[in-house]
A and B are shown apart, each in its own frame.
Chain A
């Protein structure tokens, strides 16, 4: 990997670590504040206040009653809007760069890649994998419906993200700890299992891949069919078979791009229009 490629990958890693650290700091400062110890300049925001999915969960309640669901605040709703704007521009980039739970799975996956190099990210049979990927849409519908029906954050009891960042508090349901354990173990053999199969927010953001303004494109004319893009894709999207990568599973991590992994310059790129399209028109 040359220096330019390294810098693109490093920037992503820096963003992931920074967001992870920030979210962890937020939950610790909230926990300490409840114990009567306040950290100077730290807000007492809860994890729910900085999770954009809360903004999605509360949408029905907000429209119908003007109130947020319990534990959700306006910040979640604003973050949901901002995430939607970024998704409209670049697809599910929130998942690829910002989501600390996605980063956590990737970090566990690095260990898994070393422990199980032969089966890592190829352990689930293709047919089963394809079927399992529909589950996250069912989860999305169930969570939104049940939150609307009960005006409570029903998802919290199964949310491994909440369990990860609150493992030291007494606010985590046993079911959430179990889910976190399962996802952690699975991350050793499957890259981002939560994102692939269960994440309701990823399911929603993935829809933006169909209408995003800056699209991921593969140039057929310069592609050497080395399939490096397929190999590095954490979500197992077959980049080499497409000209526009609008797959619902794409998390816009940009690992497949010429700036990161693709060995040929200007072959997998992010652009508004296909190169030369202006001339064609």
Chain B
């Protein structure tokens, strides 16, 4: 069976179009975050949202609502006023903490959320929190001993 290049590319484009339309109709074509994190695979936590799936586009108020963490606690932990925090996106932390000794970003929010709720979370790389976060976690969080130990060693100095 022989085929011309023109026919080949038309078939290729058709495969792309049909594939995308089918994925769309099937509800699996997502080009943006659905703002609903996946749940843990562990049976015991099967109904609990996994903070590891928090995206940079999540605002603090969305995290507050999804994970039932008071917005004030998130704001205090990351050095924001409550008013600022409502529409503040996780990815904006990188700009806020630009020039710091260590990166503070979406990974920091994932870790803070998990540790605040006492949920399992293993940072995929060295992750740091602002100094103020430790106080919030100690007062309101449900950190395990190991989590407390990790955070204590991964804090930005208080002024940053």
Please determine whether A82 and B20 come into contact, CB atoms closer than 8 angstroms.
yes
Q: Name the interface residues of A186-241: CB closer than 8 Å to any CB of B.
A: 214
The tally of residues in A whose CB lies under 8 Å from a CB in B reads 48
- CA distance in complex: A85, B23 (Å): 15
Please determine whether A78 and B23 come into contact, CB atoms closer than 8 angstroms.
yes
Please determine whether A150 and B12 come into contact, CB atoms closer than 8 angstroms.
no
Please determine whether B12 and A90 come into contact, CB atoms closer than 8 angstroms.
yes
A271 and B2 in contact, given A44-B32, A86-B12 (Cβ under 8 angstroms): yes
A93 shortest CB reach to chain B, Å:
5
- Which of chain B's residues have a CB closer than 8 A to the CB of A11? 5-6, 9
- CA distance in complex: A188, B121 (Å): 49
- Which of chain B's residues have a CB closer than 8 A to the CB of A67? 38, 50, 52-53
Select one of B12, B33, B53 contacting A97, CB under 8 A. Answer: B12
Please determine whether A93 and B12 come into contact, CB atoms closer than 8 angstroms.
yes
Please determine whether A89 and B32 come into contact, CB atoms closer than 8 angstroms.
no
Residue of A at shortest CB range from B14? A86
Please determine whether A45 and B8 come into contact, CB atoms closer than 8 angstroms.
no
Please determine whether B53 and A270 come into contact, CB atoms closer than 8 angstroms.
no
Interface string of B98-133 (1 = CB under 8 A from A): 000000001000000000000000001100000000
Q: Name the interface residues of B4-23: CB closer than 8 Å to any CB of A.
A: 4-6, 8-9, 11-13, 15-16, 19-20, 23
- CA distance in complex: A188, B134 (Å): 54
- Which of chain A's residues have a CB closer than 8 A to the CB of B28? 74, 78
A8 and B3 in contact, given A65-B52, A75-B31, A82-B19 (Cβ under 8 angstroms): no
Stretch in A105-113, A121-129, A252-260 with 4+ CB within 8 Å of B: A252-260
- Which of chain A's residues have a CB closer than 8 A to the CB of B3? 214, 270-271
- Which of chain B's residues have a CB closer than 8 A to the CB of A97? 9, 12
B128 shortest CB reach to chain A, Å:
15
- CA distance in complex: A259, B33 (Å): 44
- Which of chain A's residues have a CB closer than 8 A to the CB of B12? 86, 89-90, 93-94, 97-98
Could you pull out 21 A-B pairs where Cβ atoms are within 8 angstroms?
A: A8-B4, A44-B31, A45-B31, A46-B32, A49-B32, A50-B31, A66-B38, A67-B38, A71-B55, A71-B56, A74-B29, A82-B16, A82-B19, A89-B12, A93-B12, A98-B12, A151-B52, A151-B124, A214-B8, A259-B4, A270-B5
**3 closest Cβ pairs, A-B complex:** A45-B31, A254-B5, A49-B31
